[in-house]
Structures are given as structure tokens and as C-alpha cells.
Amino acid sequence: MTFEPSSHLLAFVLPVSFRKGDVIFSTATTDEEVRVAITPTDRPRHVVSTAQLSRGRWRARLNWSDGRQQYLEEKEIFVD
């Protein structure tokens, strides 16, 4: 996962075989949580906007499945 703060984008690559997934943004200070569904496409690179997030430290959790196994990746980001 790569966070591009100036563009307000979180980018990541998933295998074309992935079936479903989402990114959950959460912050411990306000218990706020934002969930963004990821739709399978014919391209491996996916981009999610972070423009809707308020300023501060967030944890981005990327959850996805290939139909047989679940995968999880986490990254801490700072939105300003």
C-alpha cells in the first residue's frame, strides 16, 4: 500500500484473481470508521480516495479474498 498525501490517494496492487475486498479507515481518537468497498477489475492497481477523511492519524486496513483465503494488510497514514 502506498499513501499519496498530496493527492489524497491510497494505492495498492491486488492479484486479478481477487474476488472481494475493502479498505477500512479507522482512528483511535474518535472511534470513527470509514469503509470503502473494492470492486474487482481487469487491472491489478486500485486507488481509493482519502479526501473524505478528517485530519489526523488513521489506520488503513486492506482486507481481501481470492475465494479461498483471506488477506490483511495495515498501514498507518496521516491526513492533513
Q: What is the DSSP letter of 54?
A: P
Chain segment 24-49, per-residue pLDDT in tens: 999 988 888 999 999 999 999 999 99
Domain ranges of the chain: 2-79
CATH class, range 2-79:
mainly beta
Chain segment 7-30, per-residue pLDDT in tens: 999 999 999 889 999 999 999 888
Banded pLDDT at 59 (limits 50, 70, 90): very high
CA dist 51 and 5 (Å) reads 9
Which distant-in-sequence residues (6+ apart) come within 8 Å of 78 by Cβ? 5, 56, 57, 58
